[in-house]
Amino acid sequence: MSEKINKPKVHVISKPGENNVGSIRFRLLRAAAERATEAFKKGFFLEAITLTESLLGTRLESRLAWVRNQTGKLPVEFSTLRALCDELLGKRASAVPDAEAFKLPIEAVREWANKRNEALHEMAKLIEGDTHDFSVKYKRSRAVVMEGFKVLLAYDALDRKVRRAAGKYTATDDKNNGTDFGCLRDLVRLGEGLKPERGASASARSAQQAACTGRGD
């Protein structure tokens, strides 16, 4: 019997007017962000880290697809944060006009990825010079989550700005100029002792979000 050949998983491109990937991705990202928020509030820090990694991964894949579209190389296969960051900071990606603006945000993602690895893969390991018990190590993962949220929000804000300037949109923009990462932004503001941004009431936001339709990648 022949072995099954697994096809590589690739980033699905949104094509407004041709498919509804933008709307589907918008709702998926929003749901993942909301779940990450709830996981953090309930103390499920490792779950929140995993979801944040996935959110960062799909945004970097979108950026890489954007870059490759300008350099003639497609498609974008799923990969690790480290590999995505390395390519986006590499020579080919650096040739696109807006590359310099993304350098620091992508370096921040790469730095956070290292902390993510420590939190997820070293929870049950003893390291030279660090003999803390599980409870201490787990509590430290809380800060990793919050930093991940901040890194994601900073990256997404820049990505949306750059796409809009080019007359394009990310999947985190909806047709009403909303964003699906509002829950993360509010949580970060509370963590910094600030109030959530003013806007519609929670019930009104829910009704608005139900009608949200994404329009980008």
Q: What confidence score (pLDDT) does residue 166 get?
A: 86
Q: How many CB atoms lie within 10 A of CB 131?
A: 8
More confident residue, 7 or 195: 7
- Higher-pLDDT residue of 44, 25: 44
Least confident of 110-114, 138-142, 201-205: 201-205
d(CA 92, CA 195): 42
pLDDT tens digits, one per residue of 41-90 = 999 999 999 999 999 999 999 999 888 887 666 778 889 999 999 999 99
Report long-range pairs for 30-38 (Cβ below 8 Å, ≥24 apart): 30/180, 30/181, 30/209, 30/212, 33/180, 33/181, 33/183, 33/184, 34/183, 36/145, 36/149, 36/184, 37/183, 37/184, 37/187
Per-residue confidence at 206, pLDDT binned at 50, 70, 90?
very low
Q: Are 173 and 216 in contact (CB under 8 A)?
A: yes
CB 151 within 8 A of CB 55: no
What is the model's pLDDT at position 210? Answer: 44
Identity of the amino acid at 139: K
Residue 17 DSSP one-character state: T
Strand partners, 173: 179
pLDDT in tens, 158-200: 998 998 888 888 888 865 555 668 888 888 888 776 666 655 4
